[in-house]
């Protein structure tokens, strides 16, 4: 596991998450609870929760990074 810890994520920032070979890019909209966040996908504009992205655990390739533009 590499990259950022969930506790270092900030509202309004953009992030890329890689887990089990799938890549997601999103903006953090709201902190819902401890280690759960409301997110908005940067491509589909769909809203979902962080818990939905990691519901099957963290793969060996798990990586969370901030996107700087």
**Could you list the pLDDT tens digit for every one of the 69 residues in the chain?**
568 888 899 999 999 999 999 999 999 999 998 889 999 999 999 999 999 999 999 889 999 999 997
Residue with tokens 């589909």: 44
Q: What is the pTM of this model?
A: 0.90
Architecture in CATH for domain 2-66 = Roll (2.30)
CB atoms within 10 A of CB 69: 3
- Contact between 19 and 31 under an 8 Å Cβ cutoff? The reply is no
């Amino acid at each position: 596991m590499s990259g950022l810890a969930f506790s270092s994520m900030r509202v309004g920032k953009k992030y890329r998450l890689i887990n089990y070979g799938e890549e997601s890019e999103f903006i953090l909209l709201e902190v819902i609870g401890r280690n759960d966040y409301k997110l908005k996908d940067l491509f589909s504009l769909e809203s979902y929760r962080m818990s939905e992205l990691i519901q099957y655990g963290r793969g060996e390739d798990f990586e969370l990074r901030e996107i700087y533009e």
